[in-house]
């Protein structure tokens, strides 16, 4: 019998008590995501210190671009990371080297191609994100430097997923922390000291990703027992490409549809005034806390699901899903109940205008209903990704976005503002029901387990 060190990542994937395994894998991910969320406010904070509203608008217009570039990394990272977890469970460790080399070098080549293409159409892209005449030049400068750094951004996100795919949750968190600290330092240097404004913000973000990337490369090359990033393992293997892209593209589409959903919501809500837009913004930030915690949970156990599936350990796989679902229910139940009870006090922390607080409490209450569903939806989607069920993962990835578009159009025409407020909750509820149906529909399940990793 194989002797596994109780301090190794493999021990937590294969043998540790389930509650202990979930905590080991998910808590660092929760912390890492919470720290990583600082990315969303650091640049805005330091740009705000320049007291230049045009610069602040530029980084706001550039936010979808930043999200999109990270989503491009998920094509390689999520697809490669989940495949590595399955191979690890199936003890096909030699093939893991080929997969890891393919996603690293492939993502960097892909990043260069994306950067070149986007720089050719930089003016059109700047207009597409909504930059007006005043903010056009600053927005163009900001996203231009983001595009130039695309190879590092995509490769960093890719290797973060690969590290997690091996079960190294702490090391994944370490990379995120290194990037956040670097971002903070270079924001001060480039924005405040060298007065580079939005260019400094973009450069700081790029350098922070490069720092994280260097850490992940160092860890995987010197500490990882299974992964080797040597170029000699790189090849365009059809089997590897199919496994990586079939899952990775589903995650990319999910993020892309979330961007579309956000833009569509803003477009419909703006007709009802600034207070409604502001209320949606504040409410979204409040409900992000349980969402990030739940994401940390189901993203943290994704390697455990993939490993158990690859090892054909059905009992451990089902135990992981059951206990994680219970944990999500507890997090959402406690948070949503507490915020609902004190909803007026909570929202008043962010706004003092009575009319804004009034509509904000209404929107927040409806969004709290959504938190009851999206944690479980995310868990089910992660299950499909980790187990290589590409078609089901694709359906879950695009369902919320595709359902939201007709829902908000119909709801707005029938119920006006009330329809807009409830549209996202309705779409998320339907997606949740769809996920439940797909998860419990397990035709030929035993045969499926016997064909976990095909040569």
Q: How far apart are CA 143 and CA 45, in angstroms?
A: 18
Tokens of residue 431, six digits: 């997606």
Q: What residue ranges of the chain have pLDDT lower than 70?
A: 1-8, 32-48, 50-53, 60, 274, 350-351, 442-455
Reference 44, options 162, 243, 205, 155; nearest CA is 205
Reference 88, options 307, 254, 262; nearest CA is 307
Enumerate residues 6+ apart whose C-beta is below 8 A from 408.
264, 265, 268, 419, 420, 423, 424, 427
> Helix or strand or coil: residue 389?
coil
Q: What is the rounded (10 degree) CA torsion for 370, 371, 375, 380?
A: -20
Q: How far apart are CA 248 and CA 161, in angstroms?
A: 11
> What letter does residue 227 receive in the DSSP assignment?
-
First to last CA, the chain: 25
Q: Tell me if 40 sits within 8 A of 66, measured CB to CB.
A: no
pLDDT at residue number 216: 94
Tokens of residue 360, six digits: 């904000």
Tens of pLDDT, residues 339-375: 888 888 887 776 677 777 888 889 888 988 888 888 8
Q: Tell me if 405 sits within 8 A of 411, measured CB to CB.
A: no
Q: How far apart are CA 418 and CA 282, in angstroms?
A: 18
**Continuous segment of H or E residues that includes residue 130:** none
Q: What is the rounded (10 degree) CA torsion for 433, 438, 439, 444?
A: 160
C-alpha pair distances (Å), 326 with each of 150, 151, 212, 330: 38, 39, 33, 6
29-32: long-range contacts, CB 8 A cutoff, minimum separation 24: 29/164, 29/169, 29/172, 29/173, 29/296, 29/297, 29/299, 29/300, 30/292, 30/293, 30/296, 30/297, 30/300, 31/173, 31/296, 32/172, 32/173, 32/176, 32/177, 32/296
Q: What is the rounded (10 degree) CA torsion for 336, 341, 347, 348?
A: -160
pLDDT at residue number 451: 47
Q: How is 287-307 classified by DSSP, letter by letter?
A: HHHHHHHHHHHHHHSHHHHHH
User: Sign of the C-alpha dihedral, residues 119, 250, 67, 241?
Assistant: negative
Reference 111, options 162, 142, 156; nearest CA is 156
Q: How far apart are CA 450 and CA 137, in angstroms?
A: 57
């Amino acid at each position: 019998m194989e002797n596994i060190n109780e301090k190794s990542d493999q021990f937590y994937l294969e043998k540790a008590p389930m509650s202990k395994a979930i905590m080991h894998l998910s808590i660092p991910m929760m912390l890492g995501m919470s720290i990583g969320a600082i990315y969303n406010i650091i640049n805005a904070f330091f740009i705000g210190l320049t007291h230049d509203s045009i610069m602040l608008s530029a980084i706001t217009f550039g936010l979808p671009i930043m999200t999109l570039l990270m989503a491009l990394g998920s094509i390689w990272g999520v697809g490669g990371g989940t495949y590595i977890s399955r191979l690890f469970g199936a003890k096909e460790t030699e093939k893991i080297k080929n997969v890891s080399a393919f996603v690293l070098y492939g993502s960097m080549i892909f990043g260069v191609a994306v950067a070149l293409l986007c720089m050719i159409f930089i003016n059109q892209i700047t207009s597409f994100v909504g930059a007006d005449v005043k903010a056009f030049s600053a927005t163009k400068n900001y996203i231009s430097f983001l595009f130039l750094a695309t190879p590092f951004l995509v490769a960093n996100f890719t290797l973060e997923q690969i590290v997690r795919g091996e079960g190294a949750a702490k090391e994944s968190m370490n990379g995120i922390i290194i990037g956040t600290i670097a971002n903070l330092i270079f924001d001060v240097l480039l924005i405040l000291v060298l007065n580079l404004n939005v260019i400094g913000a973009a450069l700081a973000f790029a350098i922070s990703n490069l720092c994280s990337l260097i850490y992940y490369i160092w860890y995987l090359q010197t500490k990882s027992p299974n992964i080797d990033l040597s170029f000699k393992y790189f090849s365009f293997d059809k089997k590897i490409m199919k496994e990586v892209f079939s899952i990775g593209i589903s995650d990319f589409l999910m993020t892309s549809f979330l961007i579309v959903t956000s833009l569509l919501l803003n477009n419909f809500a703006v007709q009802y005034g600034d207070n409604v837009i502001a209320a949606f913004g504040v409410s979204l930030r409040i409900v992000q806390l349980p969402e990030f915690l739940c994401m940390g949970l189901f993203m943290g156990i994704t390697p455990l699901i993939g490993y158990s599936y690859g090892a054909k350990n059905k009992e451990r796989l089902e135990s992981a899903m059951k206990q994680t679902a219970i944990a999500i229910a507890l997090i959402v139940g406690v948070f949503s109940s507490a915020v609902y009870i004190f909803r007026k006090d909570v929202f008043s922390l962010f706004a003092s205008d009575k009319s804004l607080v009034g509509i904000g409490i209404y929107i927040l209450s409806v969004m709290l209903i959504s938190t009851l569903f999206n944690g479980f939806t995310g868990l089910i989607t992660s299950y499909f990704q980790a187990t290589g069920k590409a078609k089901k993962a694709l359906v879950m990835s695009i369902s919320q976005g595709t359902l939201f578009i007709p829902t908000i159009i119909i709801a707005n025409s029938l119920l006006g503002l009330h329809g807009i407020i409830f549209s996202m909750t309705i779409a998320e509820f339907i997606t949740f029901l769809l996920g439940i149906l797909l998860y419990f529909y397990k035709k030929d399940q035993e045969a499926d387990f016997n064909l976990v990793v095909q040569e």
